[in-house]
């Protein structure tokens, strides 16, 4: 499965790998392994959810990440795990049940707990380990393979999003509270939504669309620019604004969701903009 936005990073990582190999005479596989970010999936038994997560994640992640799985009370892997993985053409050959104690001393970049028991029973992780909790329904007590198929489907969706927003190199760090504070102002929200649609607008374009004074619009644009959300470029006498290309993928994704989920939020503003542009022609 292809993960959008990862191609350039993969190419750069491969270049770094070649340089390291030439310098130290070590194997290509070893280089890739040490450069991968490490992810641990935890659940109670390491017999269903976390096994599916490990296999699906490693199938999708390529050279960027590597996942392990473990359980706080490990038990035998449910055979339906292998049936579902086979249906998705995903290898489960290396899967086996592991105790959390056996991997506790390994260094991980991310820990993802998949049930409340695992979240509550595990030790407190170090602050430099990013922690996520995906509380998935346990498919084991349910009959047939359909519950396992549903778990796999949910994992594919969650892992796809995880890889999309965590596979960037040199991301601009943005405090989520700052982002949502900016989004909470109706005028700034509409500016961001207009730029999401139009890609590139001038102060005059936005003044016409928003039906606000130029000084007021300029103040909001300056704030968005100074907080790295917008990039401005001068073309002759005009300054054009657009969303910053260095925004983290999670912000880009969220702006797209807000726009698609609220298609009428800037109907009036878009009509004003079109009318103003037509009158200038």
SS3 state at 143: coil
The rounded distance, in Å, linking the Cα atoms of 18 and 33 is 13
> HEC states along 60-123?
HHCCCEEEEEEECCCCCCCHHHHHHHHHCCCCCCCCCCCEHHHHCCCCCCEEEECCHHHHHHCC
Q: Would you list the domain boundaries of the chain?
A: 7-166, 176-280
| Residues labelled as active-site residues | 43, 115, 122
The rounded distance, in Å, linking the Cα atoms of 269 and 204 is 13
The rounded distance, in Å, linking the Cα atoms of 80 and 152 is 11
Which tokens is 1 given?
Answer: 């499965």
Write down the pLDDT at residue 119.
67
pLDDT (tens, 9 = 90+) of the chain, 281 residues, equals 444 444 444 455 445 444 444 554 544 444 455 678 999 999 999 999 999 999 999 999 988 899 999 998 999 999 999 999 999 999 999 999 999 988 888 899 999 999 877 666 666 677 788 999 999 999 999 999 999 999 999 999 999 999 988 876 646 678 899 899 999 999 999 999 999 999 999 999 999 999 999 999 999 999 999 999 999 999 988 999 999 998 998 999 999 999 999 999 999 999 999 999 898 87
Any idea what DSSP says for residue 266?
Answer: T
Rg (CA), the chain: 24
Write down the pLDDT at residue 32.
52
Give the largest CA-CA distance in the chain: 72
Is the pTM here over 0.85, yes or no?
Answer: no
Smallest CA-to-CA distance from 80 within 164, 139, 162 is with 139
> Does the 176-280 domain belong in CATH 1.10.10.10?
yes
Write down the pLDDT at residue 116.
79
Which tokens is 166 given?
Answer: 């965590």
> Does the 7-166 domain belong in CATH 3.40.50.720?
no
The rounded distance, in Å, linking the Cα atoms of 160 and 155 is 8
């Amino acid at each position: 499965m292809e993960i959008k936005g990862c191609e350039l990073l993969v190419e750069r990582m491969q270049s770094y790998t070649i340089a390291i190999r030439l310098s130290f005479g070590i194997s290509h596989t070893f280089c890739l392994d040490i450069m991968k970010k490490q992810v641990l999936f935890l659940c109670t038994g390491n017999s269903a959810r976390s096994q599916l997560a490990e296999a699906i994640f490693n199938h999708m992640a390529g050279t960027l990440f590597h996942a392990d799985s473990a359980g706080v009370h490990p038990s035998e892997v449910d055979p339906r795990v292998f049936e579902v993985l086979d249906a998705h053409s995903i290898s489960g050959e290396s899967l086996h049940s592991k105790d959390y104690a056996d991997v506790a001393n390994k260094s991980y970049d991310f820990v993802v707990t998949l049930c409340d028991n695992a979240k509550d029973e595990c030790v407190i992780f170090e602050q430099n380990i990013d922690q996520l909790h995906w509380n998935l329904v346990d498919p084991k007590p349910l009959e047939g393979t359909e519950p396992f198929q549903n778990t796999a489907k949910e994992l594919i969706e969650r892992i796809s999003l995880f890889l999309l927003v965590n596979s960037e190199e040199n991301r601009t760090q943005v405090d989520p509270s700052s982002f949502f504070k900016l989004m909470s102002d109706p005028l700034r929200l509409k500016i961001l939504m207009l730029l999401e649609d139009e890609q590139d607008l001038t102060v005059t374009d936005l003044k016409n669309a928003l039906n606000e004074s130029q000084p007021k619009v300029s103040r909001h644009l300056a704030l968005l620019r100074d907080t790295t959300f917008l990039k401005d470029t001068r073309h002759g006498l005009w300054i054009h604004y657009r969303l910053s290309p260095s925004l983290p993928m999670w912000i880009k994704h969220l702006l797209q969701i807000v726009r698609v989920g609220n298609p009428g939020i800037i109907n009036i503003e878009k009509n004003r903009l079109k009318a103003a542009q037509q009158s200038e022609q």
